Structure formats: structure tokens, C-alpha cells
């Protein structure tokens, strides 16, 4: 099973600042990684797939990078609606599909 | 508009059973592989089941294997999850979700709002 880790667990930022979230896989997953955003009381929302392709309707301030075992999600200028929990997920080697534990972005 | 609506959750005693349903609209369910993913309140996401579009390929997570069973009825635009032998640790929000594939990659592109299963005596 591929284990996903994320850092930091929590990230304190101010609106307008840049945020970089990290995700690491226990073995290479090539670029088979997705990122999701989840707000309280809501289902997750797909942001990025294929490590760097933005999903439909996702603002350009969200960008993904990385391949192999190390990945980043960057939010270039945080908006108030971006404060949420972010999960990475690998689909290179499954079952099982595995998610990271999440990074909470808060003010 | 793509919608996934789960139902069937509730309070059940340890050892009990539930059947969760997910009704799809706004797209043709038979074209898509589907997942069930759960989330303990305040915790992370856990994949628990996958079923291919024609039900020919089915996977369950080890944590639920032998107790939970995923199925679907494309004619009814519905996905199901049968939960047997429920344990306290199965308490979670259960989401049905759609598989997305493209030349650029794969992901879960739509999620329902979830149905809450609480296992307690």
C-alpha cells in the first residue's frame, strides 16, 4: 500500500499571501496524484489531477507541481474562500486508493 | 448538472446492517466507474470500495472486506453499499463519488453530500 503524507498539518496564512502545501508518497507514483479541497460540512472538491492539471472551474491561483514522490499544491494569493482542508490522493498503484491526512489552511 | 445523492444512513447497533444508496442524475451512470469513500467526523478520507461501469471489476478496502459489498443498477441510475457486521469504527460519513479519467490523469470529480452512519448501542 502506498502511504501518503502531507506537511504541514496546519498552515496559518493571511489573505493575499502565498501558500505551499506538500504531499509525499512512500514510493513513486509518477504524476498520478490529485488534490482536493474540503470545507466544513461539505464534500471534497477536486482541484488538481495528473499532478498539475486544474479541474474544470478551478481558479488559476491554484497550481500543482511535482512527480515521483514529492508534490506541491500552491495557492498564489489566498482568498477568504480558500481556507479549508486540502487532501492529496494517489491513484498510481491501487487498490487501495490512498489519501494523505490533510493540511488545514487557516488564518 | 451532475448530482449524486446518498441515502440510507442512520443509527445502527454493533453487528447490525444497513444498505446505502446513491442516486445519480445529470449524467449517464453506466458510462462511469464509481467509488464509496468514508470520513470519520473530523478525520481524513478513506477509500472503501470501487465498482467498474459494468460491475465487472469490484474492489473493497481490507478494512471492510467480507463485511461491505458494493453494487449498482445502471438502469436505475443507482449505486449501493451493503454494510453488514457493523462496528463502532465504521461510524462515518459515507460518500459516493464518480471516477474521472482523461489523457491528463484520473481523479474523483464529483462527490455526493454524504450519508452519516452511526454505529452505537
* Predicted local confidence at residue B105, as pLDDT: 87
Q: Do A51 and B105 touch (CB under 8 A)?
A: yes
| Confidence label for B89 from pLDDT (cuts 50, 70 and 90) | very high
| Residues 6 or more apart in contact with residue A10 via CB below 8 angstroms | A103, A104, A105, A106
Q: Which of A42, A50, A100 sits opposite B104 (nearest CB)?
A: A50
Q: Which of A44, A46, A53 sits opposite B104 (nearest CB)?
A: A53
Residues of A in contact with B95 (CB under 8 A): 43-44
Which residue do the cell numbers 441515502 mark? B7
| Confidence label for B60 from pLDDT (cuts 50, 70 and 90) | very high
Please state which of the ranges A65-69, B40-44, B100-104 shows the lowest mean pLDDT. B100-104
Q: What are the respective helix, strand and coil percentages of chain B, to the nearest 5? A: 5, 55, 35
Strand order in the sheet with A70-75: A4-7, A19-25, A70-75, A62-67
Please write the tens of the pLDDT for every residue from A34-89. Answer: 999 999 999 999 999 999 999 999 999 999 999 999 999 999 999 999 999 999 99
* Predicted local confidence at residue A42, as pLDDT: 97
| End-to-end CA separation in angstroms for chain B | 39
Rounded mean pLDDT, A19-41: 97
Q: Do A96 and B44 touch (CB under 8 A)?
A: no
Q: Residue A107 pLDDT > 90, yes or no?
A: no
Amino acid at each position: 500500500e502506498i502511504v501518503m503524507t502531507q506537511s504541514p498539518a496546519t498552515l496559518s496564512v493571511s489573505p493575499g499571501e502565498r501558500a505551499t502545501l506538500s504531499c509525499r508518497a512512500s514510493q513513486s507514483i509518477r504524476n498520478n496524484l490529485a488534490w482536493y479541497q474540503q470545507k466544513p460540512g461539505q464534500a471534497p472538491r477536486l482541484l488538481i489531477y495528473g499532478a498539475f492539471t486544474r479541474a474544470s472551474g478551478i481558479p488559476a491561483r491554484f497550481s500543482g507541481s511535482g512527480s515521483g514522490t514529492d508534490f506541491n499544491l500552491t495557492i498564489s494569493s489566498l482568498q477568504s474562500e480558500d481556507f479549508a482542508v486540502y487532501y492529496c490522493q494517489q491513484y498510481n498503484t491501487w487498490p487501495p486508493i490512498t489519501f494523505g491526512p490533510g493540511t488545514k489552511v487557516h488564518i | 448538472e451532475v448530482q449524486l445523492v446518498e441515502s440510507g444512513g442512520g443509527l445502527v447497533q454493533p453487528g447490525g446492517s444497513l444498505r446505502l444508496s446513491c442516486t445519480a442524475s445529470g449524467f449517464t451512470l453506466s458510462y462511469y466507474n464509481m467509488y464509496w469513500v468514508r470520513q470519520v467526523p473530523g478525520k481524513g478520507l478513506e477509500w472503501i470500495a470501487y465498482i467498474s461501469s459494468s460491475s465487472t471489476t469490484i474492489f473493497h478496502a481490507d478494512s471492510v472486506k467480507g463485511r461491505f459489498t458494493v453494487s449498482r443498477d445502471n438502469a436505475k441510475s443507482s449505486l449501493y453499499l451493503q454494510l453488514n457486521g457493523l462496528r463502532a469504527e465504521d461510524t462515518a460519513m459515507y460518500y459516493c463519488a464518480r471516477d474521472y479519467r482523461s489523457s491528463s490523469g484520473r481523479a474523483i470529480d464529483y462527490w455526493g453530500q454524504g450519508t452519516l452512519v452511526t454505529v452505537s448501542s
